[in-house]
Each structure stands twice: as C-alpha cells, then as structure tokens.
A and B are shown apart, each in its own frame.
Chain A
Amino acid sequence: MNHNILSQVSRLRALLEEMEKDLGLVDLSRNERDIILAFFESTRDEPEEDRKCTTETVRANPIVRKLSQPTFHRALKQLVSRGLIEKCEGMPMGIYRLTPKATELV
C-alpha cells in the first residue's frame, strides 16, 4: 500500500482520536480508571518506559481488590482494546504493560 495514503490515514486517525478526547467521548469507566491507577501503583518501582506486572499483583491492590474476577478481566479487556494496556509478548501469561498512551492519560 502507498505510504502517502498510509500517512494520511494515520493523520486522520489521530484527528478523530483528538476530537473524541476533546469532546469527552473516551472517558474511562470507574472500574477501568481504578485498574489503571492500581497498575500505576503496582509498577511504581518499574522503569518509566516499561511498567509491567502480573494481573495477580494488580488484583491484590486495595483499589481493585473488591472487583470480582469477571469484572476485572472485562475491564482489563476494554483497556487493552483502548490501547492503554498491552500484553507482554514472549513472557509468561498474565503479564501486562502500561502503554505510553496510559501515561499521558494519567
């Protein structure tokens, strides 16, 4: 595919994302916000550019301890689809990393 079209598609996507953000259409739900905060809390000793930890560690955090497992994983899935958290490839299952987008958001 042509790179020029690709750069324009990328620019269009950025434009639409900014519009959504400015219009308040990408607010996180309460559970999603709590999980992000718990992630930050659980990874505060990790390097800024590589904040990863296991879901078990995050779930043990007092902020999200009361969430049931299905609710936690549903919200986690939403955060992954929003691009705020990503699975760590090549590592054991259950390890996730905060993306730069999550850092900007907070």
Chain B
Amino acid sequence: MAVKHDLITKANVRDFAAKVLLHSGCLLVAYCIAWMVVRPVQHYFLQLLSTFGVIFYMPFGIKLVSAYFEGWRSMIYLAPGVILANLLFINLPFNQLSSAMMLTVSYATAPAMFALLAYRDSAEPRYGMSPRDDWRRLLIGGMLTTFIVSTTVNVMYFSHLSAYMTVVSMFRLMVGDILGLLATLFVLTMSFRVAQKVMQE
C-alpha cells in the first residue's frame, strides 16, 4: 500500500513538471518570437505604429490555448514562463500592486471566459461538444478575453489619454492579440503537419 501511494505521488509530480515545462516553455518561445522577431520587423516596416503593442502577439495565443485545456490551472503552469518573460522582456516591477493586478487580469481572464462559456452551454467543462465547437469556442473566448484585458490595461495605465486615443489603443491591443492567436494556431497546425510527415517517413 505504501509503495502504491509512493508511485502515485511520483507520477503526479512528473505530470505536473511535464505540464509546467510544456506550457511555460511554449509561452517563453512565444515571447521570444514577439520581442526578438515581430517587434523589430514591425518597428522597421511600420514605423507609424506606436511601439506599444505587437502586431502578432503570440503569447496571447499560447495563454488562450493553455487556458482552454487547463482552465484555472493554466495560471500555475504558465507562472514560471510569465516570471522569466517579465525578467527578460517586459520588466514590470514585481513589488508593485498594479503589476500583480495586471498579471492576474492578463492570465485569469481567459480561464474565466471559458468557464463562463461552458456554463452558458451547459457543456463539458472547458471542452466543446465536439472538435467543431472547440475551435469556435476558442475564438469567441479569445475575443472576449482580449476585450476585457485591453480595457483593463487602458484603464490602469492610460487613463490620461483622450477617449479617442483610448479606443485606438484598445483596438491596437485587440488586433495584436487576435492576430497573435491566429498566428499561434497556424504555427501549431504546421507543426502537426510536419510531425505527421516526419512520422510517415
């Protein structure tokens, strides 16, 4: 009995570690792409755009897919990636309440939206009735999430802007998030196709 309990505990730890590695790893890669590839290219070709906001913001896509499959637990699995990404790229001060609030809203909104959609549909938690519903639910959840998060960002950091600039800023963030989600889904699709080809060879 003691041995069985020990095995279950080790499996749980392995399971947890694997998910942390997968979710945080993907998030970190997405941040690297956004900050080291997309942002410089965007800066170079689209100088008229403000530097705030990345046009293909893939961290949003990873955050959303993670929340779709793991719900509230995605916040735990993504936490190491969030901390590292903040240290490397964003530099939000961790000791400020506004930073903690921002990060909480940023990563808790998606699980909340999917829970709401699941409750509304009275379907399986987090999953649609079939894969056909899954991708639609993912996109709807994404749109709701980006609206709430961009509204919060603007209220917290850009309340000094005029109404017009606030709307423009929100729109920019939302476009970046949705394009980032689509880019993430595209990259995942291509990855599965490449993996399938490699396995067949």
User: Which residues of chain A have a CB within 8 Å of any CB of chain B?
Assistant: 1-2, 4-5, 8, 11-20, 22, 80-81, 83
- On whether the beta carbons of B131 and A20 are closer than 8 Å, the reply is no
Q: Is the CB of A2 within 8 A of B135?
A: no
A-B contact pairs, 26 of them (CB 8 A): A2-B14, A2-B15, A2-B19, A5-B15, A5-B18, A5-B19, A5-B22, A11-B69, A11-B131, A12-B65, A12-B69, A13-B192, A14-B134, A15-B135, A16-B135, A17-B131, A18-B130, A18-B131, A18-B134, A18-B135, A19-B135, A19-B185, A22-B132, A22-B135, A81-B196, A81-B200
Instruction: Tell me the number of A-to-B contacts counted with CB atoms below 8 Å.
Output: 47
A12:B196 contact, CB within 8 angstroms: no
Q: Is the CB of B132 within 8 A of A16?
A: no
Mark B157-195 against chain A: 1 for CB-CB distance below 8 A, else 0.
000000000000000000000000000010011001000
Which residues of chain A come closer than 8 Å to B134, judged between CB atoms? 11, 14-15, 18
The residues of B that contact A17 with a CB separation of less than 8 Å are 131
Q: Which residues of B contact A83 (CB under 8 A)?
A: 196
User: Which of B69, B131, B196 is packed against the most chain A CB atoms within 10 Å?
Assistant: B131
Nearest residue (CB) in B for A18 is B131
In the assembled complex, the Cα of A66 lies from the Cα of B14 at a distance in Å of 57
B127 in contact (CB, < 8 A): yes
Q: A2-B15, A8-B69, A11-B69 are in contact. Are A80 and B200 (CB under 8 A)?
A: yes
User: Is the pair B197, A15 in contact by a Cβ cutoff of 8 Å?
Assistant: no
Interface size on B, as a range, is: 20 to 34
Q: Using CB atoms, name the residue of chain A closest to B128.
A: A15
Q: Which residues of A contact B132 (CB under 8 A)?
A: 18, 22
Check if A2 sits within 8 Å of B196, measured CB to CB. no
- Quote the shortest CB–CB distance from A105 to chain B (angstroms): 15
Closest to A21 in B: B132
In the complex, are the beta carbons of B15 and A16 less than 8 A apart?
A: no
Known: A4-B15, A5-B22. A16 touches B192 (CB 8 A): yes
Give A59 to B197 CA distance when docked, in angstroms. Answer: 25
Chain B minimum-CB-distance residue to A20: B189
| Residue in A4, A12, A22 whose Cβ sees the most chain B Cβ within 10 Å | A12
4 closest A-B pairs by beta carbon, nearest first, are: A14-B131, A19-B135, A18-B131, A15-B134
A15 interface neighbour in B15, B18, B131, Cβ under 8 Å: B131
Asked if B138 is at the interface (CB within 8 A of a chain A CB), the reply is: yes
Q: In angstroms, how far is the closest chain B Cβ from the Cβ of A58?
A: 20
**B134's closest neighbor in chain A, by CB?**
A15
Report Cα–Cα, A67/B123, bound state, in Å: 49
B188 contacts A16, C-beta separation under 8 Å = yes
Partner of B185, one of A2, A5, A16, A81: A16
Find chain A residues with CB under 8 A from B188 CB. 12, 16
Please name all residues of chain A whose beta carbon is closer than 8 Å to the beta carbon of B130 when the two chains form the complex: 18
